[in-house]
Amino acid sequence: MDTYVLNGITIAPILDNRREIKSGSYPVKIRVTYKRDR
């Protein structure tokens, strides 16, 4: 998946394939990192 970086802030979507939703898809989690601190 794509990662977006701007001024030391990184936003990365992560596909959480540990659990499946009723529709058969998986949830997407958003990881935000600022100056390498989550």
Say if residues 32 and 10 touch (Cβ distance below 8 Å): yes
pTM to 2 decimal places: 0.63
As a whole number of Å, the end-to-end CA separation of the chain is: 18
Instruction: Please count the other Cβ atoms lying within 10 Å of the Cβ belonging to residue 7.
Output: 6
Q: Would you state the pLDDT for residue 36?
A: 80
Provide the number of structural domains found in the chain: 1
pLDDT of 1 > 80? The answer is no
By residue range, what is the domain housing residue 20?
4-34
Render pLDDT for 9-28 as a digit per residue (tens, 0 to 9): 999 999 999 999 999 999 99
Higher pLDDT, 7 or 37: 7
Which structure tokens are listed for 1?
């998946």
Q: How many CA atoms lie within 13 A of 2 on its CB side?
A: 2
Say if residues 7 and 17 touch (Cβ distance below 8 Å): no
Q: Would you state the pLDDT for residue 35?
A: 86
